Structure 1
């Protein structure tokens, strides 16, 4: 066996039903020119064992859909993953995911397939989206041998881009929630965090429309230009 073959991670062994479900997934699509209101969005939150995207694991997933410009409570997703080997640490306990909850969780491959089917061709919104995207991509690769190609947009970037007069130092989700006076029933739980992120996203999408950002593709381009301006401003 060559060194490269030894270093290459083994492809997971999938059941026939899993392979059939993967094959039936719709092909990923780029962000389109429909209106922001017409676009179905999926707002995603992952609870993880830590912040190391190369080592830590996805423990639970929460997601909710925005459709026709409103939060659709009939379209919600929540799964705790089966992680019996996960050691208890502060990052795990803050999410309320003790050993019994993780031992009773869903098979990761099955849960991730359910999530992909829930997302469909919709773009994903998340707060600090690059982290969620990397963690989800790694989980999909490990459990299903699947390469993530779904477009992600970062709510943590949308908020300051659309509110340039609001000055919040290293603003987190709680800071923007407070800024807009949103009521939060719970935090640090995947489904609850997905819902509050969706409520914030609805405000931001409404602001985007008022600022003449009409489509998901235009929003993505505006975010790209904003990141470039921020990098130039900070000399990066």
Structure 2
């Protein structure tokens, strides 16, 4: 017997039942970003509320998402779910997201919540403000609960904004700064669904700026972001 076996963390993953396995197998594969016009792409705009900002330890507590399709926000396609966390402990983050322990205890079971969200997502690319954080947290949650590998493209609205609106001089700005700059109004901040909706409104404005700069396809937008990121990291930027 391995003497260090007891040092290994125990898996908290519960085996999926037959229906959950069927749902998992039926999830569509993601597709690469194409050269079709931006307005022809279905986008899922995502926001997560988490128990904290530690990407290795903290958990996803709620998921909010809205769809951009045919160049507009489709309010008929929205997703909102609080995830049940039986081992959740109150942290300072509750002062930000406002999710009480009772709401989390009464939330949707993690496997079902994540399967529901992935069915909603389909094969669409994802937009989020500070997307690397949401991408990492969602990737980890899916791996832990479903054994699923997330491969969907994520584009960061927090990078799109300064790249496409350099005249605004808001390079390190947050979501509040950009919504104020464009005169947008969030009904409720640090609430996953409300933040997803205002991020979608911001994204539509940015798509308009992108088209005026001849960046009119998902693939070209991704390429422009990659080039802007490299330029930003150069010493002369």
- TM above 0.5, yes or no, is yes
Report the TM-score when normalising by structure 2: 0.94
Question: How far does the alpha carbon of each residue in 1:130-182 deviate from its partner, in whole angstroms, 9 at most, with x for none?
Answer: 00000000000111010111100000000000011211252000000001010
Moved runs in structure 1, 4+ residues, more than 2 A? 1-4, 6-12
Of 128, 131, 150, the match for 1:126: 128
User: Distance between the aligned counterparts of 1:32 and 1:163, measured in 2?
Assistant: 23
Of 48, 61, 64, the match for 1:62: 64
Verify the 8 A CA contact 2:162 2:171 in the aligned structure 1: no
Of 60, 85, 88, the match for 1:86: 88
User: Distance between the aligned counterparts of 1:175 and 1:35, measured in 2?
Assistant: 28
Structure 2 residue 32 is the aligned partner of structure 1 residue 34: no
Distance change in 2, residues 1:144/1:9 (3 Å): farther
* Equivalent in the alignment of 2:15: 13
* Equivalent in the alignment of 1:223: 225
Distance change in 2, residues 1:85/1:8 (3 Å): closer
User: Distance between the aligned counterparts of 1:233 and 1:197, measured in 2?
Assistant: 30
- Stretches of structure 1 lacking an aligned partner (at least 5 in a row): none
* Equivalent in the alignment of 1:201: 203
* Equivalent in the alignment of 1:114: 116
Of 154, 157, 171, the match for 2:156: 154
Verify the 8 A CA contact 1:45 1:63 in the aligned structure 2: yes
Q: Secondary structure at the match of 1:54?
A: coil
Of 101, 104, 114, the match for 1:102: 104
The size of the alignment, in residue pairs, is: 235
Report the Cα offset of residue 203 of structure 1.
0.4
Distance change in 2, residues 1:234/1:14 (3 Å): farther
Verify the 8 A CA contact 1:43 1:197 in the aligned structure 2: yes
Of 10, 26, 48, the match for 1:46: 48
Q: CA RMSD in A?
A: 1.9
* Equivalent in the alignment of 1:189: 191
Report the TM-score when normalising by structure 1: 0.94
User: Distance between the aligned counterparts of 1:74 and 1:103, measured in 2?
Assistant: 28
User: Distance between the aligned counterparts of 1:140 and 1:232, measured in 2?
Assistant: 35
Verify the 8 A CA contact 1:84 1:99 in the aligned structure 2: no
